[in-house]
Amino acid sequence: MKKKLITVMGTIFFSGMMTIPSYSAGCEEELTACQRAFDRFEKKEDDRTCHNCHIVCLKAVTKCHYRGNEAVKKEATRLLEICHKRCY
């Protein structure tokens, strides 16, 4: 029983220390994608670019929220709100 508990606790501890894979885009990269989607929407305001802007910026807001990057989250939220107001 004690060995099983130590194994479980060790697994939980070390899984928290694992790094995020390098192929996973970080918060700043998601914001860059959001800004590009927003720029495309600014140039060509149609349903497709609006929907894309909304999805990409929402993804950036969510990822930055979970990673705790408030400054980038704030900017992504601002762009998301602009897209949302113009589209819906």
Q: What is the pLDDT of residues 26-84, one digit of tens each?
A: 899 999 999 999 999 999 989 999 999 999 999 999 999 999 999 999 999 999 999 98
Residue 63 lies in a domain: yes
Global pTM reads 0.69
The yes-or-no verdict on residue 13 having pLDDT over 80 is: no
Residue 21 lies in a domain: no
Q: Which of 30, 56, 27 is nearest to 41 (CA)?
A: 56
Q: Any idea what the Cα angle at residue 39 is, between residues 34 and 40, rounded to 5°?
A: 100
Residue 52 lies in a domain: yes
> How many domains does one find in the chain?
1
